[in-house]
Amino acid sequence: MTIDTVIPAEGVALDRATEAELQQKAKDHLWMHFARQSGMEAGNGVPIIVRGEGHHIYDSHGKKYIDGLSGLFVVQLGHGRERLAEAARKQAEELAFFPLWSYAHPTAIELADRLADYAPGDLNRVFFTTGGGEAVESAWKLAKQYFKLTGKPMKHKVISRAIAYHGTPQGALAITGIPGMKEMFEPLTPGGFRVPNTNYYRAEEMGFTGSLEEFGQWAANRIEEAILFEGPDTVAAVFLEPVQNSGGCFPPPPGYFARVREICDKYDVLLVSDEVICAYGRIGEMFACTALGYVPDIITSAKGLTSGYSPLGAMIVSDRIYEPFKHGQTAFYHGYTFAGHPVSAAVALENLNIMEEEGILAHVRENSPKFRAALERLKDLPIVGDVRGEGYFFGIELVKNKETKETFNADESERLLRGFLSKALFDAGLYCRADDRGDPVIQLAPPLTIGPAEFDEIEAILRSVLTEAGNLL
Ligand SMILES: Cc1ncc(COP(=O)(O)O)c(C=O)c1O
């Protein structure tokens, strides 16, 4: 069976024999990521997505869905962009592969120059990776070596926030704040410490009462407290997402990042803005730190950089951090064979060209309030506790009791999210994420090209499925 023979035209189902054969092969050989294999082992089959066009995807039965998560916070410009495919084809023909290990190639050079141009402050040096977790891993290693080179060799620890996800390599996992994703791999890289996140809806449970602005100061001050607990001369970096994904899109309260920047400067701790999700237009700017008004020392990014047409990640570093690496025999002994791949870099450049030509950033800024308003209309449903986020990145927190904010216990959450919501939303034509790594949330991060008509469509599907979910309680 070849790909040409299995992929049908838009909206047309795979023939039954092909579908059955693919399901069997998946059952026999495919190991899904972050998923229970038991569904496949039991022979339930797996949804097979065969095609994408704009903000829609199609499954093997020819059924059409709104891609409400841009694949996985990736497909900024939507599916089926011929120019991106063409950029990849052209580059593969010209130079399919060469590493960045002591050599360079034009597309990586051009892309580094372009990213340095977009990045704020003196973040002018770009180190490519193949994805987000590698960028995070690279940033921690860089922070450690930077301090060894600058006479503070004990600085190696990192601080991050509860429930935050920063990737799966054992360093990045030590930065991740989700115990259930870590315990089976312990012991991890030592040196990861957690502080509270910025979920204002749950602030009281963290022991805080007061205004949003005060909460921002309180949450930032927890970082200072952790630095002091651990000893400033042992802490290398703070890793924060501009808007925290895991737990359901926590925006920073006003003043939060200004205070964090102040703290990091005071104790000579690097501020890493983990923008693996938030960069490249998701929050309405190329880098979300620009939208939120702070300048980090390092940005980690991936996902939307190529709109997913080829894998790529990038760590962007300030001149100050780069400085000690410029001299003599010093090197950052770190890298990845496929990092800055010529094809991926060519796709990224074309992706950024299209973003500029189509005014994608302005489009997100203009339409984000309309998206928020559409989702906030759902607050009339008893099961919807909170709606939060920024740009084209929103979370809807589900609650058992709206008055008391009582959440679901593990069994209820299992029944609600896995037993009902994920499948019901998908069946109703909306691919998005129902997540309970923190309190149960539905997350939306659609392609950046959609507008009010699609927001209404998304709201209608959510309304119908969440109403049904509420009736099940
Ligand atoms: C904030 C953040 N950091 C790191 C990662 C890891 O990226 P990857 O899956 O490309 O390794 C993710 C993935 O979703 C992420 O959201």
Q: Identify the domain boundary among 357, 382, 403.
A: 357
- CATH number of the domain that residue 183 is part of: 3.40.640.10
- CATH number of the domain that residue 397 is part of: 3.90.1150.10
Q: Is residue 284 predicted with pLDDT exceeding 70?
A: yes
Distance 377 CA to ligand 1 centre (A): 30
Indicate whether 304 belongs to any domain. Answer: yes
Same domain, 186 and 258: yes
- Please say whether the dihedral angle defined by the alpha carbons of residues 110, 111, 112 and 116, taken in this order, is positive or negative: positive
Name residue 117's beta-bridge partners: none
Distance 314 CA to ligand 1 centre (A): 12
In which element (H, E) is residue 315 found? strand 313-318
Indicate whether 97 belongs to any domain. Answer: yes
Domain around 330: 83-357
What gap in Å lies between CA 284 and CA 242, rounded to an integer? 12
What gap in Å lies between CA 194 and CA 192, rounded to an integer? 7
**Is 302 near ligand 1, meaning CB less than 6 Å away?**
yes
**Is 175 near ligand 1, meaning CB less than 6 Å away?**
no
Nearest atom in ligand 1 to 73's CA: 14
Nearest atom in ligand 1 to 164's CA: 1
Nearest atom in ligand 1 to 172's CA: 4
**Is 284 near ligand 1, meaning CB less than 6 Å away?**
no
Indicate whether 29 belongs to any domain. Answer: no
Same domain, 223 and 90: yes
Same domain, 285 and 424: no
Mutate which of 72, 75, 130, 166 for ligand 1? The one with the most ligand atoms within 8 Å of its CB, which is 166
Structure confidence at residue 5 (pLDDT): 45
Nearest atom in ligand 1 to 311's CA: 10
> pLDDT by residue (tens digit) across 415-473?
888 889 999 999 999 999 998 888 899 999 999 999 999 999 999 999 999 999 988 87
Same domain, 349 and 387: no
Same domain, 204 and 290: yes
Same domain, 151 and 203: yes
Same domain, 233 and 349: yes
Indicate whether 3 belongs to any domain. Answer: no
Antiparallel, parallel or unpaired: β 433-435 and 430-431: unpaired
What gap in Å lies between CA 118 and CA 279, rounded to an integer? 11
Neighbouring CB atoms inside 10 A of 386's CB total 21
Indicate whether 18 belongs to any domain. Answer: no
Same domain, 146 and 266: yes
Mutate which of 73, 136, 178, 275 for ligand 1? The one with the most ligand atoms within 8 Å of its CB, which is 136
Most confident of 2-6, 215-219, 404-408, 414-418: 215-219
Same domain, 251 and 389: no
What gap in Å lies between CA 70 and CA 92, rounded to an integer? 25
Put simply, whether the predicted model's pTM sits higher than 0.85 gets the answer yes
Distance 128 CA to ligand 1 centre (A): 15
**Is 435 near ligand 1, meaning CB less than 6 Å away?**
no
**Nearest residue to 200 (alpha-carbon basis) of 256, 140, 159:** 256
Distance 279 CA to ligand 1 centre (A): 12
> pLDDT by residue (tens digit) across 186-205?
999 999 999 999 999 999 99
Indicate whether 220 belongs to any domain. Answer: yes
Mutate which of 276, 287, 305 for ligand 1? The one with the most ligand atoms within 8 Å of its CB, which is 276
Structure confidence at residue 231 (pLDDT): 98
Could you tell me if 308 and 85 are in contact, meaning their C-beta atoms sit under 8 angstroms apart?
A: no
Same domain, 188 and 285: yes
Q: Identify the domain boundary among 329, 357, 385.
A: 357
Indicate whether 40 belongs to any domain. Answer: no
> pLDDT by residue (tens digit) across 88-143?
999 999 999 999 999 999 999 999 999 999 999 999 999 999 999 999 999 999 99
Residue owning the nearest CA to atom 11 of ligand 1 = 133
Distance 297 CA to ligand 1 centre (A): 19
Residue owning the nearest CA to atom 2 of ligand 1 = 166
Distance 452 CA to ligand 1 centre (A): 28
Same domain, 434 and 341: no
Same domain, 376 and 402: yes
Could you tell me if 149 and 155 are in contact, meaning their C-beta atoms sit under 8 angstroms apart?
A: no
Count of domains forming the chain? 2
Indicate whether 244 belongs to any domain. Answer: yes
Q: Identify the domain boundary among 357, 392, 414.
A: 357
> pLDDT by residue (tens digit) across 11-25?
678 888 999 999 999
